[in-house]
Every structure is written in C-alpha cells, then in structure tokens.
Amino acid sequence: MPPVGVRVSLNTEMQKFLSEKTVTPSPGQNPRMTADSAQVSAASMAWTNAEPDTLMERVLAPANLRRAYQRVVSNKGAPGADGMTVDELAGYVKQYWPTLKTRLLAGEYHPQGVRAVDIPKPKGGTRQLGIPCVVDRLIQQALLQQLTPIFDPLFSDHSYGFRPGRSAHQAIETARAHVAAGHRWCVELDLEKFLDRASQYPLVHEECSKRSG
C-alpha cells in the first residue's frame, strides 16, 4: 500500500528498520512484527545519519523518529481510515520511508483522512473522535516531540491538560490553594463542540506568528 497519491516500487533501502526478531513474510504479505519486537525494532531504524539543520530535519532525525515509533507502538490504538494496524507500521515504513521522507522535506506530504468514531459521553450523548492512520500518527508524534519545547512555554500557567510535567493532581492542588486563600467562587464552563467548530488554521497561524515575531 503506497503513500496516498504516490506510486512506488518495493525497495530494500530500509532493511535495518526491523530487528532480527521480526517475522520474515511470505511473498505478497506485509511484514509483521512479533509481540516483543515492537519494543526493540525501532532501535535499528536506518533513517539517515545526516546532521539535522532545519526543524523538519530535526523532526525526521533518527533519535526523534525512534522515540515517536516507540510511542505509537506502545499506545496501540485502532486502525485509521486505511485499515492499517500498528503491527503493520514497521513493514510499511521499511518499504516506503524514502518516499515519505522526500515528500515531507519537500512540503508535499498530505495526511490521510481520519476515521470518525462516536463514543458515549458520561452525561449522555456522544462525542466524535477522529482516528488518524497509523503512519500519520507516527509523523504527528515526531512533530509533537519537536514542537512541544517550542510552544509549551507560551501556554497559560493555569493550563494542566495534556502537557508534559503537568497533571490533574496539580490542578487539584492549585484549586485547594485558592480555597485556602479564601476564594469561594468556582465557574465551570464547557464550550459545546468547540474543537469540532473552531477554525484551527487561524489559531495555529496566530501562535506561529507570535513565535516567529
């Protein structure tokens, strides 16, 4: 299964991607990993040895990609719209990484569509989740690891969700401190379907402009 919009022939340039514990596929099958190889196969990725100069090159640096791969594998998760499982990721990247890397560096890579899944909410109703394809999750994780140190310092000190080094327990301790200080009012606010309706591009563009300016 070649990258979206791209036709490429199979190649062996990424043979070192898999460790010796990987299963040798029969002709016509996608390579799959053994249960324990997911923990070690990323260590043998032969992405490139070049010293990264640009942000995207840092995203695609071997150490960063190894971390991203290990995170995606450990998170497991359901397949995206293309049906590819986490177990199939190593074999796919082994075959098509040169093409993926070229398109990423050229700014020509386009993520695939996400698979929409409705999950029930505790208080009734449903919330829609978008499940990206496994390859896109790898790339997104690699991007996240490089962008977090850049943009996290810009976030509010009162923001605790999904940030490194912060947790719900810290938010509780902050709330306790406010109570101890004599504050007695608390406002609970929920913007209905905010992320479904908000235009993400202006938000991202504004933050990037702040950072570059």
> 128-157: per-residue pLDDT in tens?
889 999 999 999 999 999 999 998 998 999
- Whether 106 has a pLDDT exceeding 70, the answer reads yes
The confidence score (pLDDT) of residue 213 equals: 58
Task: Provide, rounded to the nearest whole percent, the portion of the chain with pLDDT above 90.
Answer: 54
More confident residue, 16 or 199: 199
Tens of pLDDT, residue by residue over 162-203, are: 899 999 999 999 999 999 999 999 888 888 878 778 887 787
The confidence score (pLDDT) of residue 123 equals: 83
Tens of pLDDT, residue by residue over 38-91, are: 333 433 344 455 556 789 999 999 999 999 999 999 999 999 999 999 999 999
The confidence score (pLDDT) of residue 209 equals: 75
| Closest by Cα among 144, 133, 137, 3 to 64 | 144
Number of neighbours of residue 187 by Cβ within 10 angstroms:
4
The confidence score (pLDDT) of residue 172 equals: 94
The confidence score (pLDDT) of residue 212 equals: 62
Lowest pLDDT segment from 3-7, 16-20, 93-97, 117-121? 16-20
Rounded mean pLDDT, 115-124: 90
Q: Which residue has the tokens 């071997």?
A: 62
Which H or E element spans position 66?
A: helix 62-75
- Whether 25 has a pLDDT exceeding 70, the answer reads no
Structure tokens at 24: 């040798």
Which H or E element spans position 127?
A: strand 126-131
53, 170, 191, 199 from 102: Cα distances, Å: 15, 42, 40, 29
Q: Which residues contact 73 (CB under 8 A, 6 or more apart)?
A: 38, 39, 42, 86, 89
